[in-house]
Structure 1
């Protein structure tokens, strides 16, 4: 498992037009957030803070139950940390998703399900701003929103909370017969 250290550094790579995280030991991580969605502070070199590490570990714990490889879990968690720290505010685009029954009150780090007319997918809540939340696709398979638009793994979208359902992981029950 990838463990955060105080030697990690955020920086913007102008050549590749991407926010990067230098993990040391000649390892670099390219953040999936498009440049147009980055706040101004993303262009300054800065350390991976204790708060970043805490958020990273919280996200890792939240996504532990997902059926993803360890590298994919690390990718999702690092992109989630970057989004929580460097993503610009955006307007909700809830029209892609169906309204749900119940009262979902997501918290940062919660896994939720969003359903479009083409199917449903798991998302990680990055930031709840009251009635809407910034969410990141947590499924490796793309999530079709329309016949021509889809979300890719780690893409972000802001959605009204009334479109969300709490994610329920349906694990098979393994019983041992004793006696």
Structure 2
């Protein structure tokens, strides 16, 4: 896994019109958040802080059970850190998702499932603001929201918490019969 260092730096690349993370050793990570969703501080060069590193490690731990390759987990975690630090506040767009019986009260970093009429997908909760949460798609396969609109890996959306269902990783249990 990619380990944060004190040399990592956030910066905005005007040529590519994207927020970037300089990882050193000629490696650069391009953040998936569209420019229109970035707060003004995203356009200033800043260091990858100790808080960023802590949040990154927390996201990595919480997504460890997802069936993603190691590079995809790092991509998701880095995009999630960028979203937690640089994403503009947004209004919920819950109408795409079905209300769940009981809903859930997710915490930052939780993995939840959201259901549309076209399917279900796993999302990483970036920030819970009380009754709604900023979520990032954690499935590599796109999820159709309508017949003409879909979300792709690492896209963000804010959703009311009553639309969420806690993700439960159903691992096969092997029992040994003894005696």
* Consecutive aligned runs of 4 or more in structure 1 exceeding 6 Å deviation: none
**Residue 123 of structure 1 corresponds to which residue in structure 2?**
123
Matches within 5 A, 1:39-58: 39-58=39-58
Counterpart Cα distance in 1 of 2:107 and 2:19:
26
Q: Is the 8 A contact 2:108 2:127 kept in 1?
A: yes
CA distance in 2, matches of 1:168, 1:118: 20
Q: What's the secondary structure of 1:83's corresponding residue?
A: helix
Q: Secondary structure at the match of 2:75?
A: helix
How many correspondences in the alignment? 179
1:40-84 Cα shifts (integer Å, max 9, x gaps):
000000000000000000000000000000000000000000000
Query: Which residue in 1 is equivalent to 2:100?
Result: 100
Q: Distance in 2 between matches of 1:84 and 1:16?
A: 22
The alpha carbon displacement at 1:102 in A equals 1.0
1:141 matches 2:124: no
Q: CA deviation at 1:178?
A: 4.3
The answer to whether the 8 Å contact 2:103/2:163 transfers is no
SS at match of 1:154: coil
Structure 1 segments unaligned to the other structure (5+ residues): none
Measured after TM superposition, the shift of residue 142 of structure 1 is: 0.2
Give secondary structure in 2 for the equivalent of 1:55: helix
Aligned-partner Cα distance in 1 for 2:178–2:146: 51
Q: Which residue of 1 aligns with 2:65?
A: 65
